[in-house]
Amino acid sequence: MKQTLLFIIIISLFTVGCSHDEIEYGVLKNGKMVLNVDSAGTLSKLISTTDKYSITDLTLSGKINGKDIMLIHNMAGLDSLGHVTAGRLTKINMENVNIVAGGYFYFKAYAKNNYGLPIWSIGRANVLKNDELPDFIFFGLDKITEVILPKDINYISENAFANCSELTTVGIPDKITYIGSAFFNCPKLKSMKLPGELVSIGSNAFLNCAGLTSVTIGNKVTLIGINSFSDCFLLEEIHCKALTPPKTDSSAFSTYTLLYCKLYIPKGSSKAYKSAEVWKDFVNVIEE
């Protein structure tokens, strides 16, 4: 009896101990690592040189600045000058991250001025804000496939994901009110359900997202900018939840989209859409 009872206790303790995986901060396991950055600019102190280019799936919390973003770029395959690194990072979860001012310039785009002399367009590390996903933060990182954005941001800046050729999934917090030219040329994005608090979609926001098939636009959107969804030739359906058609630039949608994409609009709003510029040009309109 005593042996049986002891056996049951041992089995119960083993079951409890194995019932869930405890988070092991700073431990690389199967390409995955979870880190909390207590002080912005110190991410490099938490990742060894050996692990830096072995991490494929990174979960971050805490505070980061331009210096940390530059390291993330390196880990995802590019340095701040656009040179290829040995980085292998494909997935990053930043849901519990606060982006703060300071650190290094994390991105430098080479260009020439009117006199043909070289100049630099520099990632704005000195003006990063907690509520804003900064410009160029993931620009050109063609190994990145999945990103979960910080839950407290309400603004996605210009070129944040532009030219991310392998990007398939983006977790966007619902409180986002503005999306700039953030997803230009992301050909593997398939479906986008835009945030419920979104008010404005900037110029070139999803320009040339050639694989995009479905978009849901929330009921608070009032403005859709130049070329926002232009050259998205696989778009099959757009669900626009706004009772009042958003003010939309004439170049926002390609002619192909106007002819062949199904536009779903709220019940009772057909009259408004049929008289609204751009929206009236959609051929296939369905109330839902």
- The token pair that represents 84 in the structure block: 């290829």
pLDDT for the residue 22: 63
Residue 244 tokens, joined: 């009042």
Which residues are within 8 A (CB) of 214 and not within 5 positions of it... i.e. 6 or more apart? 190, 191, 192, 235, 236, 237, 238, 239
**How high is the pLDDT of residue 113?**
52
Amino acid 106: pLDDT: 79
For residue 229, count other CB atoms closer than 10 A to its CB: 27
How much is the pLDDT for 114?
Answer: 59
Contacts of residues 225-231 at CB distance under 8 Å and 24 or more positions apart, as own/partner, are 225/200, 225/201, 225/249, 225/252, 226/251, 226/252, 227/203, 227/251, 227/252, 228/201, 228/202, 228/203, 228/204, 228/252, 228/253, 229/205, 229/253, 229/254, 229/257, 230/204, 230/254, 231/207
- Tens of pLDDT along the chain (288 residues)? 545 444 444 444 444 444 445 678 999 999 999 999 999 999 999 999 999 999 999 999 999 998 999 999 999 999 887 889 999 999 999 999 999 988 877 777 655 555 555 444 555 544 577 778 988 899 999 999 999 999 999 999 999 999 999 999 999 999 999 999 999 999 999 999 999 999 999 999 999 999 999 999 999 999 999 999 999 999 999 999 999 999 999 999 999 999 999 999 999 999 999 999 999 999 999 999
